């Protein structure tokens, strides 16, 4: 049996005729740039996320960059983030000529540690303008505590929700529980629609979300050359528009996001049930007040590299997100500050392994992955 790490075709077979029609409609009308689908997608995505505004952009990376620009982050500013993420999260801070502060992750959720964030705020004071929490693998960060700390220090939050479309954080207010989707909690939320994401298009795409009218207007200008009219530019902007063909595809797929996320959650439940007592495997820790959408299903084991080889030998694709944290990457040498060791990020990066998880993954394939992992650990004992 073969189990690829990712298989985009299996999840979308049932959508292909709707998507073809949506693409044909755009081609027929030829409104390729900021056409009607972009506007419609922005409205629907705002409704879905539970925020007032969405601005479609050309990638998640671009969204993060424009978010910092909209907040006027520039050369004397510091921005806090985690080193255990995709490079885009921190890259954009440097693109703004601002300074990166890496703080360590929580050892269980692998998300940014609120305690370490507060330590960084104590050390760097009002030089810090923003924090970028990453809802890693599809699990929301501890937004309740992070909001509290950021309010106290007057720091803006730019949520990196590139991996967490539809994930929910439940705030506790006395006996009341308030559910919020990620991307609607901080000043700005950033999403990637890279093809493999929970909501993915057929190329690059992204979105930024906000509840702030002023930030919304600024983001609209920044993604389109600083324009207020066709040849009237209020500020220096960029060409970061979401392509209308991609918006047409996203409009179709957005209707199925919850259904596809549920499929991921079902697969995750089976993996967790079957793998929790196998070898030294640590299955994903899920905080009680969140809904995880499992962009990735990531286990931890000291035998990571050997297990990865074994799975490969048995035609099972797997991957490591991320084996070198950003502070140890050559590109970041001398370009960041810290407040303490980043040991949780380093230890975690040596042990994590992502297993296949996507809508359309068959039960027999899931079973094969589980049995092959069990076989690996049985062989270890011999």
Among 46, 59, 198, 240, binds ligand PLP (CB under 6 A): 59
Q: Is 209 in the site for ligand PLP (CB under 6 A)?
A: no
Tally the C-alpha atoms within 13 A of residue 252's C-alpha that lie toward its C-beta: 21
270 within 8 A of 361, measured Cβ to Cβ = no
Binding mask 64-93 for ligand PLP (x = CB under 6 A): ---------------------xx-xx----
Q: At what angle do helices 88-95 and 60-70 cross, to 10 degrees?
A: 40
What is the closest distance, in whole angstroms, from the C-beta atom of residue 70 to ligand PLP in the complex?
Answer: 17
Q: Is 37 in the site for ligand PLP (CB under 6 A)?
A: no
Q: Is 316 in the site for ligand PLP (CB under 6 A)?
A: no
Q: Of the two residues 270 and 328, which places its CB atom closer to ligand PLP in the complex?
A: 328
Which one of the spans 12-20, 160-168, 211-219, 353-361 is the region binding ligand PLP (CB under 6 A)? Answer: 160-168
What is the closest distance, in whole angstroms, from the C-beta atom of residue 59 to ligand PLP in the complex?
Answer: 4
- Candidates 146, 171, 166; CA nearest to 158 is 146
What is the closest distance, in whole angstroms, from the C-beta atom of residue 214 to ligand PLP in the complex?
Answer: 24
290 within 8 A of 356, measured Cβ to Cβ = no
What is the closest distance, in whole angstroms, from the C-beta atom of residue 38 to ligand PLP in the complex?
Answer: 16
Say how many residues touch ligand PLP, by CB under 6 A. 15
Structure tokens at 333: 């040498």
Q: Is 349 in the site for ligand PLP (CB under 6 A)?
A: no
Structure tokens at 69: 């620009």
What is the closest distance, in whole angstroms, from the C-beta atom of residue 194 to ligand PLP in the complex?
Answer: 4
Q: Of the two residues 134 and 353, which places its CB atom closer to ligand PLP in the complex?
A: 134
- For CA atoms 55, 153, 336, 284, give the dihedral sign: negative
Q: Is 163 in the site for ligand PLP (CB under 6 A)?
A: yes
Among 35, 60, 83, 200, binds ligand PLP (CB under 6 A): 60
Structure tokens at 172: 């506790």
Provide long-range contacts, Cβ within 8 A and 24+ apart, for 213-221. 213/52, 213/53, 215/70, 215/71, 215/187, 215/188, 216/52, 216/53, 216/55, 218/70, 219/53, 219/55, 219/66, 219/67, 219/70, 219/188, 220/55
Q: Is 206 in the site for ligand PLP (CB under 6 A)?
A: yes
Q: Is 160 in the site for ligand PLP (CB under 6 A)?
A: yes
- Residue with smallest beta-carbon separation from ligand PLP: 60
Site residues for ligand PLP, 124-153, by CB under 6 A, read 134
Among 3, 66, 162, 247, binds ligand PLP (CB under 6 A): 162
Which one of the spans 55-63, 273-281, 282-290, 362-370 is the region binding ligand PLP (CB under 6 A)? Answer: 55-63
Which one of the spans 25-33, 58-66, 121-129, 208-216 is the region binding ligand PLP (CB under 6 A)? Answer: 58-66
Among 54, 61, 240, 261, binds ligand PLP (CB under 6 A): 61
Which one of the spans 56-64, 110-118, 270-278, 349-357 is the region binding ligand PLP (CB under 6 A)? Answer: 56-64
Among 111, 184, 192, 344, binds ligand PLP (CB under 6 A): 192
Binding-site ranges for ligand PLP (CB under 6 A): 59-61, 85-86, 88-89, 134, 160, 162-163, 192, 194, 204, 206
């Amino acid at each position: 049996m073969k189990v690829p790490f990712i298989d985009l075709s299996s999840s979308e077979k049932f959508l292909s005729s709707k998507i073809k029609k949506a693409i044909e409609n755009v081609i027929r009308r030829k409104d390729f740039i900021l056409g009607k689908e972009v506007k419609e997608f922005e409205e629907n995505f705002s409704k879905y996320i539970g925020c007032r505004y969405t601005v479609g952009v050309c990638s998640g990376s671009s969204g993060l960059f424009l978010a910092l620009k909209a907040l006027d982050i520039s050369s004397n500013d510091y921005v806090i983030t985690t080193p255990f993420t995709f490079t885009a999260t921190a890259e954009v801070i440097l693109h703004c000529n601002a300074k990166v502060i890496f703080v360590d992750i929580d050892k269980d959720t692998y998300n940014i540690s609120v305690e370490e964030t507060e330590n960084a705020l104590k050390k760097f004071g009002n030089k810090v303008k923003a924090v970028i929490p990453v809802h890693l693998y599809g699990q929301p960060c501890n937004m309740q505590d992070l909001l509290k700390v950021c309010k106290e220090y007057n720091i803006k939050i730019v949520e990196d929700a590139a991996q967490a479309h539809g994930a929910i954080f439940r705030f506790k207010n006395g006996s009341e529980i308030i559910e919020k989707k990620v991307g609607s909690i901080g000043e700005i939320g950033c999403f990637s629609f890279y093809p493999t994401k929970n909501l993915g298009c057929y190329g690059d795409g992204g979105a930024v979300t906000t509840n702030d009218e002023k930030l919304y207007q600024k983001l609209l200008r920044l993604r389109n050359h600083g324009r207020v009219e066709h040849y009237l530019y209020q500020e220096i902007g960029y060409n970061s528009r979401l392509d209308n063909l991609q918006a047409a595809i996203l409009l179709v797929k957005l209707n199925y996001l919850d259904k596809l996320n549920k499929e991921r959650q079902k697969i995750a439940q089976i993996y967790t049930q079957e793998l929790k007592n196998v070898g030294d495997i640590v299955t994903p820790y899920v905080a009680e007040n969140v809904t995880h959408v499992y962009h990735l299903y990531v286990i931890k084991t000291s035998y990571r590299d050997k297990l990865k080889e074994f799975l490969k030998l048995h035609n099972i694709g797997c991957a490591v997100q991320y084996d070198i944290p950003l502070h140890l990457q050559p590109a970041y040498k001398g370009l960041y500050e810290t407040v303490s060791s980043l040991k949780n990020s380093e230890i975690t990066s040596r042990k994590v392994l992502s297993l296949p998880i996507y809508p359309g993954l068959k039960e027999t394939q899931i079973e094969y992955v589980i049995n092959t992992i069990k076989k690996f650990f049985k062989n270890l004992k011999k």
